[in-house]
Amino acid sequence: MSPQKIKIKVDPFLMGMISLIVLAYFFQLENSSLSNIPTDLIVSVGISLIFFFYGLKLSPEKLKAGLKNWKLHVVIQLSTFLLFPLLVLAFLPLVTDEQQQLIWMGLFFLAVLPSTVSSSVVMVSLAKGNIPSAIFNASISGLIGIFLTPLWLGPLLKNEIGGFDFSELYLQLILEIIIPVILGMSLQKWLGKYAQRYAGLLSNFDKSIILLIIYNSFSHSFASNLFSGMAWKDLGTIIVAVILLFFLVYYLTGMASNWLRFNREDKITAQFCGTKKSLVHGTVFFNLIFHGTGGAGIILIPLMLFHAIQLIFISYKATNLAKPSTLKPKKEKPFIYPFN
């Protein structure tokens, strides 16, 4: 029997992020003839449109129907908004200097973000998990994150960023996120079908705004020489920390699923949705909170690396779980260990 070939699919969006970081290194808007382009205004309008379309795609009926499987929902939301932050907070006493503080802040910022929507549902579907619960949790996580993410960050930002104006932040949240979501949900009955029909185009629009935020942030960071004090060991520390964080949460959600006697479909959903973090929400909150502050680009690095890791591993895991051999009942207990 010939050895099975492993196909690695390159994600265009991931390559786009890397390309724009490289572009930002060699070409900064601040130091070019294009410095007058109102990128901040474009990003602001783009964020509002992202969450308006997000509201259009949220079906109140489906959200109500999804409330039945409450144990699964509790596991996913506690993993997203409690387990992640507590794991990162445990390492705060080990921080000894300003550079480590920036790295830790980036990890904590990643930890308090909501779960991603599209990839969670797609991967759960591919792995034959509980699709309705995946849709419910991914959707409700984004709404919860609008309120919980700033609450988690609030006390730390007051200590780390002197004079931070939270009234301005919440005003921006209301104008750019909450109002567009409410408006979208209120029009969902009439325009929701168009949002579903053109979901691919809307997804490309979301990605375009994310890429613009990433380029804008790294362009500013490179122009201000904010990475000059970052050594290769710092990048290595971030990579190791992000990988450990992902797999630790993946393992713990698996243990919780076993303890609660979830069936195969619910366990897949718990592990896939409970370990994801939203790049969309992350870049939006980053733009609102950290844009223009010292070391802002470093704070965004853990989120970008985590996005790549979760995409690669969950894609691999979903593909393997979708194989017919994993779907057949076995005499021994199936799908017990999170890493098998």
SS3 14: helix
Quick one: pLDDT band at residue 332, thresholds 50, 70, 90? Answer: very low
Rg for the chain, CA atoms, rounded: 20
Q: Which residues of 297-328 are buried (b: 16+ CB within 10 A; e: fewer)?
A: bbbbbbbbbbbbbbbeebbebbeebeeeeeee
Is residue 339 scored above 50 in pLDDT? no
Cα 253 from Cα 272, distance rounded (Å): 9
Q: Three-state secondary structure along 25-46?
A: HHCCHHHCCCCCCCHHHHHHHH
Class for the domain spanning 12-29+37-321 = mainly alpha
Q: Which helix (H) or strand (E) holds 238?
A: helix 232-259
Q: Three-state secondary structure along 97-157?
A: CHHHHHHHHHHHHHHCCCCCCHHHHHHHHHCCCCHHHHHHHHHHHHHHHHHHHHHHHHHHH
Least confident of 48-62, 84-98, 107-121, 261-275: 48-62
Q: What is the largest CA-CA distance in the chain?
A: 68
How far CA 217 is from CA of 34, 173, 211, 258, 327, in Å, comes to 15, 19, 10, 42, 45
Cα 264 from Cα 292, distance rounded (Å): 46
List pLDDT tens digits, range 216-233. 877 877 776 766 666 788
Quick one: pLDDT band at residue 327, thresholds 50, 70, 90? Answer: low
How many CB atoms lie under 10 A from the CB of residue 51? 24
Between 2 and 18, name the one with better pLDDT.
18
Cα 287 from Cα 76, distance rounded (Å): 26
Q: What is the mean pLDDT of residues 96-118?
A: 87
Quick one: pLDDT band at residue 71, thresholds 50, 70, 90? Answer: very high
Quick one: pLDDT band at residue 277, thresholds 50, 70, 90? Answer: very high
C-alpha angle 275-278-281 in degrees, rounded to nearest 5: 145
Q: What is the mean pLDDT of residues 151-163?
A: 68
2: DSSP letter: P
Task: Supply the pLDDT for residue 330.
Answer: 47
Least confident of 40-49, 181-190, 285-294: 285-294
How deeply is 101 buried, as exposed, middle or buried, from its count of CB atoms within 10 A (0-12, 13-18, 19+)?
middle
Share of the chain above pLDDT 90, in %: 23
Average pLDDT over the chain, rounded to an integer: 80
Between 34 and 191, name the one with better pLDDT.
191
Cα 160 from Cα 136, distance rounded (Å): 35
Task: Supply the pLDDT for residue 331.
Answer: 47
